[in-house]
Structure formats: structure tokens, C-alpha cells
Amino acid sequence: MWRPRERIRWQPDPGIWPGADEAAGAKLFQPIDIGPTQLEACTWVPAMVPWRATGDGEVTDNVLDWYGRFARGRPGAIVVEATGIRDVPSGPLLRIGDDRFIPGLKKLTETVRRESDGHTKLFIQLIDFLAVRRRPDPAKYFERFLKITERHRDALDAQEWTEDKVRSQMAGLPEDELADVLTPRELESLHQGYRERVTDTDLPQIAELPAALPGLFADAARRARDAGFDGVELHYAHAYTMASFLSALNTRGDGYGGSRENRARLPLEVYDAVRAAVGDDYVVGTRFLSEDCIDGGNTVEDAAYFGAAFAKAGFDVLSLSRGGKFEDAKRPAVGQAAYPYTGPSGYECMPQFISDARGPFGRNVEPVAAIRDAVRKAGCETPVVLTGGIHGFRQAEDILQADQADIIGFARQSLADPDWFRKVRGGHGDAVRVCEYTNYCEALDQKHVPVTCQLWDRKGLDEPGIAKTQDGKRRLTAPEWEPDKS
């Protein structure tokens, strides 16, 4: 992962933990209305892909155990990982693109309801993504994948050559000369792997996205409702289709790109279709970016505009992440796909303990506060969720007291210790296993293997009945905690 040049090592500092009485009076542990429902506390576990679904996108026992474990910590809400809305193979990522996925997802909602004793609300994140191919072997790229064009022949002065000769000539060119022969897009396909963009409107499947996506999201949301989820979160963040529509880099000329108003058009049409499918008495939220954190991408002013537009349209909750884009991703190894959390924007999304003078904790606070302000100025009381490096009680409570956000998201901190909420609420903050922000978990995510936390995955491996990774070396859920054992 990319890290800031300064390389300053930061230690998490949760500060003084509250006693049970102080916690009981804290804003963090007060109920909050989200559209037609209510959370019992202003605490939130944002979506995290744990790589536990089957290759066909079905819920497994390990998926149930994973979310059941978070539920026993009793956060106000859990958002289930990014779940694909199309019925197409996408590896061990959960899917909701067909009614056959409903029974498995139903088990998931029942598990969370049972394990939290009805205290935690459960939402599911709905995602669409475009095709991303692995970085090709250069020999194969020039032999097979590259489409030879007049531009190549002109650049090589090779009008009369056979195609094979053009290909082999290009394969032998030094790196610095390739840039004169290949287009920037071809060069990107060679170095990063081919990646579709929302601006590729010459491709029918991309041109048709505005026609296809409202129905796909609406059907998925209806299935989420049938499976018993308390609501859906439309994934408009990071490197995926909807975030790309919102991005200032979206120059589509069909009314769905260019101005902010046009970039918000499809996200709002998707919202309308989802709302029509699930009705007014169901939570529809979205996660989007406070800043794209890439050259030419969205700024906080763009996000403030979108926040106000989404709130006015009727979204029940707005959750803000930042960065996580393909545009600045590290060049993957041959045979691997680019990963959107490996560049500077990826760092902004999941900042690690080696950081710059600003440090990895709370980098999203100011942008989110500005977006919340714009939402309030637009006359909307829509709750805003802030996530990013939050691990201490005071840190979270101060943000709420300062009206910078309404709900606090704890992603890696709740992975490190799913009982954070129960411990802090009960005056047992000293027993919290504090996240060290090493991104060990994130490295596992990047390898598409089961995500665990280094603070607990080697603990109690001989405990009877615990689920482990296939090699038996890591446990798949955090050890249990009881107050009297702390």
C-alpha cells in the first residue's frame, strides 16, 4: 500500500474510557431515527468484505458466524459487505442478483437479529461494478489482446507491414518508446490490466447503464426487503460504477456526465427506482465519497452538492467514505488485477499507522462536517455517518457533540474488537482491544482470502468448535468476551 512520504509512526490513542453512567448519558449511546426506523445507538459497523461467501455468491456458515460475532457486540447498525446486484459470477463476494439468493440472506438477517437479541439493525450494501481484467503478460498482450490500428502503423511508419510484424515490432520496443506508439488507454491496459469506464459509451453495455441500473438496484433492494434486512445502502463510493458516474472525471455526453447535476442524474434515478420498489416505510441510504482524492476528481464542494441533493430526494441516511479509486492504484504484478486501495486515494480510504503530520485518525472529520452542514442548509435533517480511524470514545463523542456527524462508523476498530460497543457502554473500555491500524486485514482483503485481525487470529486456536482458515492457522472470528472475565 502507498504511504505518505513523511513516514511518521502513529499510535492509536483511545484516551480515557467512560464509566457506565457517563456512557449511558453520552450522545454516542442515544437512539437516533433513520427514516422509518430507529437505531438504539449512534454506532455503526460499515461494510467490510470478509471473503467468506461461496464462489457462487451464496451465504455460508462462515458468513453467518462473521456477522453473528459483530451482532453480539451490539452496535446500533451493521452494514453487510458490498453485495453484487447482477447475477454474474464474481468470485466469493455475496450476491443478490436473483431470488435464489433470498433464503441464504434470510438466514443472515435471522442470525443478526438472534445474536444481537434484536438490538442491532441490519442493512446491506448494494454494489455494481464494471469489468476489470488482470494485468496481461506483455508478450500475450502484443500477440493477441492489442487491436492493431492505423495509429500504430503511422507511429511505426509501418503501413506495408503484416500485422504479425507490427505486433512483434511493438513487443520489442523499450518502455519509453511505447508511450509514442500506444494510446494512454492501451498503455494502461498493458500496465494495469484493461478496465471499463463509465465514459466508454462506444460499448453497448456501458451506453446502456442508465437504462439498466435502476431496475437492477430496485430488484436487489426488493430482495433485501424480502430477506428481512432493515434497509439497503446503495454503494455510490470508491472505485465502482455509481461513484464513477458521480465523479468529476465523468465526461459522458448523454446527459449523465459533465455538470454536477448531470453526474447526479443516474444516482437519483436509481434512488427513485429503489424507493418505488421498497416503499416509503423502508430505509434507503447511500455511501458516497467526501472527496475522490485523485487528480481532477470530486472535491468536498462536489460532495456537499450531492449530499444536499440526495437528502432532498429522500435518502434516509448518508454515509461518507473517502478515496479508494483505480486512477492512482499501484501497478499490479503480471496476472494480478489492479486494486483501488493501493495508491494515495486508497490511503485516504483506509489510512495506516505510518502516516503524515495529519495522522491516520479522523481524516474524514472536516469534509464530512462540511457535507452535513450543506445537508442542514438544504433544510434536511438526514443523519450523516462518519467513518475513518475512529477508535476512542472521546474522539467519537466529541465529533457528535460538535455536530460534525450524527453517527460514528467503526470499521477496522470493530474488526479488531467487535465488543467495543458493549464494553464501552458497560464501563469496560479498558478491556477494548484497540486497533493498531497496521492494515494486516486489508492486505488479506487485497489477496481475496478470508479477512481476520492480527490481534486475535492466532489466539485460542485450540478452543473447541471454532472455525479456522483452511490451513488451520487462523481463527475466523474474534474470541468471545464476557464482562466478568475482563
Write out the residues near ligand SF4 by the rule CB under 6 A: 412, 415-416, 435-441, 453-455
Length of the chain: 486
397: Cα separation from own chain's centroid? 24
> Which does residue 380 touch among ligand SF4, ligand FMN, none (CB within 5 to 8 A, set by kind)?
none
> Which does residue 303 touch among ligand SF4, ligand FMN, none (CB within 5 to 8 A, set by kind)?
none
| Nearest approach, Cβ of residue 423 and ligand SF4 (Å) | 16
| Nearest approach, Cβ of residue 437 and ligand FMN (Å) | 7
Nearer to ligand FMN, 225 or 412 (CB): 412
Question: What Cα–Cα distance (Å) separates residue 212 from each residue in 85, 91, 128?
Answer: 11, 22, 11
* CA torsion through residues 149, 332, 349, 63, sign: positive
Burial 195-216 (b: 16+ CB within 10 A, else e): bbbbbbbeeeebeebbeebbeb
Alpha carbons 13 and 366: distance in angstroms, whole number: 19
Q: ∠ CA(374), CA(375), CA(381), 5° rounding? A: 145
- The amino acid that residue 115 corresponds to is E
Nearer to ligand SF4, 285 or 346 (CB): 346
| Nearest approach, Cβ of residue 352 and ligand SF4 (Å) | 8
| Nearest approach, Cβ of residue 430 and ligand FMN (Å) | 21
Nearer to ligand FMN, 41 or 178 (CB): 41
| Nearest approach, Cβ of residue 364 and ligand SF4 (Å) | 16
| Nearest approach, Cβ of residue 416 and ligand SF4 (Å) | 4
Q: What residues contact 37, with CB distance under 8 A and at least 6 apart?
A: 121, 230, 231, 283
Q: Specify the DSSP class assigned to residue 24.
A: H
Nearer to ligand FMN, 400 or 451 (CB): 451
| Nearest approach, Cβ of residue 239 and ligand SF4 (Å) | 20
Nearer to ligand FMN, 365 or 411 (CB): 411
> Which does residue 387 touch among ligand SF4, ligand FMN, none (CB within 5 to 8 A, set by kind)?
ligand FMN
Alpha carbons 217 and 274: distance in angstroms, whole number: 6
Nearer to ligand FMN, 82 or 374 (CB): 82
Please answer whether residues 448 and 30 qualify as being in contact, where contact means their C-beta atoms are separated by less than 8 angstroms.
no
Positions in the binding site for ligand FMN (CB under 6 A): 46-49, 81-82, 125, 237, 287, 321, 349-350, 387-390, 410-413, 441-442, 445, 451
Comparing CA positions, the residue from 133, 130, 124, 57 lying closest to residue 95 is: 57
Is residue 58 packed enough to be buried (19+ CB in 10 Å), middle (13-18) or exposed (0-12)?
middle
> Which does residue 128 touch among ligand FMN, ligand SF4, none (CB within 5 to 8 A, set by kind)?
none
Nearer to ligand SF4, 438 or 469 (CB): 438
> Which does residue 189 touch among ligand SF4, ligand FMN, none (CB within 5 to 8 A, set by kind)?
none
